[in-house]
Amino acid sequence: MDVTIFFQNATKIFATVGESIRSNSLTWGNTLMNDTSPDMAAKIQALYMQRSGEERMRMCLDMFDFARQLMVANLQAQGFEGVELRKQIFLRTYRDDFPKDVLDKICQKIGDSRY
């Protein structure tokens, strides 16, 4: 994976997590989720803000890595492997970041690669 793209997405995730903590809400698809009381959200944000920027970034990367492991396990349980597994990982991770024609081109390149 291109390191630049990885860090752009890690930064986007970190910004999203930070904004979610501040706004006390997360989205899943088109559904807004907010099951945390404002008092608890403020306490959680205060705890996060006590950490250095590096620690917060590491936490985000660890959460991203864990979520990716869950996604890969789920895809493998559905029978995906090899190149098709790599395509599905890409699509689940970046589907909302590219127009369909670009997604198709990237998936074609994944299919053409030897890795």
State how far the alpha carbon of 75 is from the alpha carbons of 71, 85, 108, in Å: 6, 7, 19
Question: Quick one: pLDDT at residue 109?
Answer: 93
pTM of the model: 0.60
The type of residue at 64 is F
Each of the 115 residues of the chain gets a pLDDT tens digit; together they read 444 455 555 555 555 444 444 444 555 555 667 788 889 989 999 999 999 999 999 999 999 999 999 999 999 999 999 999 999 999 999 999 999 999 999 999 998 876 5
Smallest Cα–Cα separation from 51: which of 21, 23, 9, 26? 21
